[in-house]
Structure 1
Amino acid sequence: MTTSESIIHQVPYHSQWESPELVPDILAGTSLAADDPLWERSGAADQEEYEYWSWRLCGVACLRMALDFWWGLAPPAVRLAEECLAAGAYVRHPDGRLDGLIHAPFAEYVHRRWGLPADARAPLAAEDLPGHLATGRLVMLSVHPSIRTLDPHPPRLGGHLVLAVGATEDALLIHNPSGFPDGSQQFAPVPWADLPRFFAGRGIVLGPYGQPEE
């Protein structure tokens, strides 16, 4: 996959944790998300709630980035997650398990709540991504989380959401909500030849028109 012109949208970055620099330690288990000193910014009622949601906020983080880019808004992550839960984009079970982010109800929520065109697509072809980006859209992609290190042998496709913010002849550029601060968080290049190892062929295309509701 190649594109003749570079396309880079200057999208603000938001991690799914409030302190992006702590992501390597949190993922390694050497620090608890609950100990994130900025946890209150998430809108969580307490550290326990933040611990629970922070591991599940990749899609919400992508939405925050899109809203910040187009509207200059980045609502608290857990508050957005609660809205998504009410909209059916998450399903929380009595034992604490959480299903989601479920793309179709999430896209409906984004359009209704924020006035932002959102189209859940499955399949979504990798070769179509430069075209979407060239027309001013951003694309949430379902990828395996090991995309952060370009793992040569990911165990499966999908399971994590990243935001495509640009494309060059050589690579897709992504903002990864669980990326590392050494270069895999913002504008992280994923070579086109490597993308199929991680990309599940589905995602949500976000468009730039409309206004958020009051």
Structure 2
Amino acid sequence: MKVRQDDRVKPISHAVPYYSQWESPELVPDILDGTLRAADDPLWERSGAADQAEYEYWSWRLCGMACLRMVLDHWWGVAPAQVRLAEECELAGAYIRHPDGRLDGLIHSPFAAYVRARWGLDAQAVSPLPVERLPEELARGVLPMISVHPAIRTLAPEVPRPGGHLVLAVGADDDALYIHNPSGFPDGSQRAARVPWADLDRFYAGRGILLGPPPTG
């Protein structure tokens, strides 16, 4: 779709550091296709997990924490270990862990509240969040964390439903949105990956969290 019918999107690009939800971004294809167990990521200890089993559990669920690390590094120059961030978010109600291992989350509203209270950033859970609003927020200096289908990494022609994975929008132009994808491939779908507006519709669930710099005044 065209983002605007009567105007063009002024090119916007934010220089945001990139983090994968796995500690070794170059190994993401092998982890996703099962060639390598996440627990065998040689850099797993950097995650803050107590052991490889805990890293295995959390790494598949850390897309939101990877996005948070990007935002924190961008504005505060810090990138805390992502399993530790996940544990804080669980205490804040943004994840709900069940006895059988199921995990609900990332739950947007308590996550936004956690980001405001813990990190002093402007954070708002927004649903619906129309596609047309994304370049407007980026132009204001806000970084939208949006819910998309994980197959956005390959721009798959068909997906069963939108949503289920979080990516960080870092730029836009008249033709595409640019995202940092925590589960992207190192061949070009990790950092500032180009997603044409016409393709975004089938992946995007129409909701997200607007992450902005610390409020002033």
The bucket for the TM-score relative to the shorter chain is over 0.9
Q: CA deviation at 1:91?
A: 0.2
Q: CA deviation at 1:210?
A: 4.8
Output aligned runs, 1:103-182, within 5 Å: 103-182=108-187
Scaled by the length of structure 2, what TM-score is found? 0.96
Structure 1 counterpart of 2:208, one-letter code? G
SS in 2 for 1:204: strand
Query: 2:95, 2:103 within 8 Å by CA — same for their partners in 1?
Result: yes
Deviations 1:26-66 (A, max 9, x none): 00011001000100000000000000000000001000000
Q: Separation in 2 of the partners of 1:117 and 1:164? A: 16
The share of aligned pairs that are identical, in percent, is 73
Structure 2 counterpart of 1:98, one-letter code? L
Scaled by the length of structure 1, what TM-score is found? 0.97
Name the counterpart of 1:83. 88
Output aligned runs, 1:28-67, within 5 Å: 28-67=33-72
Name the counterpart of 1:9. 14
Deviations 1:82-125 (A, max 9, x none): 00000000000000000000000000000000000100000000
Structure 2 counterpart of 1:21, one-letter code? E
Name the counterpart of 1:92. 97
Tell me, which stretches of 5 or more residues in structure 2 are unaligned? none
Q: Separation in 1 of the partners of 2:101 and 2:160? A: 25
Structure 2 counterpart of 1:56, one-letter code? R
Deviating above 3 A after TM superposition, structure 1's stretches of 4 or more consecutive aligned residues are none
Number of residues paired by the alignment?
Answer: 211
Output aligned runs, 1:181-196, within 5 Å: 181-196=186-201
Q: CA deviation at 1:4?
A: 3.1
Which of 203, 206, 210 lines up with 2:211 in the alignment? 206
SS in 2 for 1:126: coil
Q: Separation in 2 of the partners of 1:93 and 1:73? A: 30
Q: Separation in 2 of the partners of 1:186 and 1:109? A: 26
Deviations 1:135-191 (A, max 9, x none): 101000000000000011011110000000000111000000000000000000000
Q: Separation in 1 of the partners of 2:214 and 2:138? A: 14
Q: Separation in 1 of the partners of 2:185 and 2:213? A: 28
Q: Separation in 2 of the partners of 1:56 and 1:128? A: 27
Root-mean-square deviation (CA, aligned residues, Å) is 1.0
Q: Separation in 2 of the partners of 1:209 and 1:64? A: 16
Q: State yes or no: 1:197 paired with 2:206.
A: no
Q: Separation in 2 of the partners of 1:4 and 1:196? A: 17
Structure 2 counterpart of 1:36, one-letter code? D
